[in-house]
Amino acid sequence: MRTDATEMAYKKYCVVFIIFALAIVQAVGYDTELYEWKPCNSNVCFEALHGALGDCSCSVDTIDYFNNVKIFPRIQSLVSKDYFRFYKVNLKKECPFWADDSRCAMKYCHIKKCSKESVPGYANGYDNDHIDETPATKYTKEAQSECGSDADHDPDLSYLNMTISAASQYEIAKWKAYDDALENFCENDDRNVDAEYVDLSLNPERYTGYKGSSAHRIWRSIYQENCFRPKLNPYESFPYVLSSDLSNMCLEKRVFYRAVSGLHTSINIHLCSKYLLSEKTVGFAAPPEGEWGPNLEEFQRRFDPSQTFGEGPNWLKNLYFVYLLEMRALAKAGPYLEREEYFTGNPIEDEETRHAIRNMLGVIYTFPDHFNESSMFNGGSQAATLKNEFREHFWNISRIMDCVGCDKCKLWGKLQTQGLGTALKILFSGRWDSSDGDPEQGKLPLRHKSQRLQRTEIVALFNAFARLSNSIRELENFRIMLSANKESEPKQNIFGGKEMKDSNKKVNVKTGQCTSGGSKPRLGS
């Protein structure tokens, strides 16, 4: 009897242990994976992409029409002009944060560089546009003019010591660098000795095959170390801030996160819309330069709620948000941008470029719901501290782009980051602020001589906005593709499998989304 009782007790303990172990596994799975989603239908990516954006009075539908009909054709034509085609960038910088242990060896990762002489107008001062002479340069021996040629000039009577020690020149240069750092949101490469010109038309942004741990580390570092967070994220596999937690952040931190998320979303859409398809082509049918086109499955993997813990539609909304932010920067700096020469040495094209700039800015001024940056960073010293943190976080993000292991990805990452950084500089540096004019229309009068942008900043600003505009236009193409799939295969879900029966569906009580099964979301590269 005692033996039977012992065996019975042992079995009970085993059952309890197994139940306890299963409970732990389930709890850990819940913590690390949040929810596992299944889409209800083929348009699930776009069902929530309507209505108000939040943090502004604009709606998604208003931006869709305004961009696709009015802005997209204008900005795409504009950035094809010579002035905006050539971008000066240093792709040789080493990663300042970790060892660069992963370089993309695929031919699609490489870029085609161009010589200085091939850049239109370079010989006539194209590269010297907006050079700010540093105080240290002004006092060098080479910079001084000779006064002895004047017959009435007595050097003994009017001698002025124009020399300055090397140590003082170094310190003055540091002052200039400090002053620039107070208003710039990212590093500028154009004066770097290793900077080279790149023809953007010969190096289009598209999927290159760069992925894996190296690409994931870039975005993990951006989100986990350089974005403001309302709390520590307990989900190791999901570095993003949940949309439900954004309400716990102040407006300034929320704007920062949504801008970075929108930039990431835009880059992902570019990769999905210009995906390398030739790998799927059999035999010798694939062209030598590769076959590129939209990849609907990849788009769904990156944005469908079933793959992103329900966050995909919110990331798409952040694209519209950063589009609105950059468009506001263009409007605010509009009077300055309208007065630029856009010199390339070709008088006819330069005039066409200036006319195209004025035309597009005129359209932008008419947009009814511009982003209102005046509601941010108000509150004395605390707001000033937050503004400095805002700038420092974005400066770090611009430096992280030097850690990208694919040259073509690095080129477009640096360009779009500099474009967004230039927009933030226009909105928050104070140089373009004025109590006069109409802030809704952006027609602010030129007041400061310091209202000046480097040529690379202007090129990056317009090209970055063009990339956002292109992303919103590509969303319409993916929406059409999804609708066509739904009509042609009404009994299949968006991943090609058979549609789930109602008995297998569960509803998430927080969102009302259908849930059941699914796979972990994968970090976009």
SS3 category, 2? helix
pLDDT at 29 over 60: no
pLDDT at 442 over 80: no
At 505, the pLDDT band (50, 70, 90 cuts) reads very low
The residues that bridge with 438 in the sheet, in sequence order, are 443
pTM for the predicted model, two decimal places: 0.74
Give the residue, 158 or 112, on which the prediction is more confident.
Answer: 112
Long-range contacts of 210-216 (CB under 8 A, 24+ apart): 210/104, 210/106, 210/109, 210/404, 210/405, 210/406, 210/409, 210/525, 211/525, 212/102, 212/525, 213/102, 214/101, 214/102, 214/405, 215/404, 215/405, 215/409, 215/525, 216/523, 216/525
- Do the Cβ atoms of 124 and 86 come closer than 8 Å? no
pLDDT (0 to 100) of residue 499: 42
- Give the tens place of pLDDT for each residue, 203-213: 898 887 777 78
Task: Kindly tell me the burial class for residue 15, based on how many C-beta atoms sit within 10 Å of its own C-beta (0-12, 13-18, 19 or more).
Answer: exposed
Mean pLDDT of 269-282: 78
At 96, the pLDDT band (50, 70, 90 cuts) reads confident
At 424, the pLDDT band (50, 70, 90 cuts) reads very high
Torsion on CA atoms 111, 117, 122, 123, rounded to nearest 10: 170
Count CA within 13 A, CB hemisphere, residue 385. 4
CA dist 313 and 494 (Å) reads 15
| Average pLDDT of every residue of the chain | 74
Say how many residues make up the chain: 525
SS3 category, 48? coil
Q: Which of 159-168, 213-222, 391-400, 424-433 comes out lowest in average pLDDT? A: 159-168
pLDDT at 7 over 80: no
How many C-beta atoms surround the C-beta of residue 51 within 10 A?
Answer: 10
pLDDT at 435 over 80: no
* Residue 259 token pair: 């801008």
Range among 186-200, 383-397, 432-446, 454-468 with highest mean pLDDT value: 454-468
pLDDT (0 to 100) of residue 456: 93
At 338, the pLDDT band (50, 70, 90 cuts) reads very high
Those residues with Cβ within 8 angstroms of residue 288's Cβ, 6 or more apart along the chain or in another chain:
none
Give the angle subtended at the CA of 117 by the CAs of 113 and 118, to the nearest 5°.
55
- Do the Cβ atoms of 272 and 299 come closer than 8 Å? yes
Secondary structure E strands in 120-249: 196-199
Buried b (16+ CB within 10 A) or exposed e, 467-484: bbbbbbbbbeebeeebee
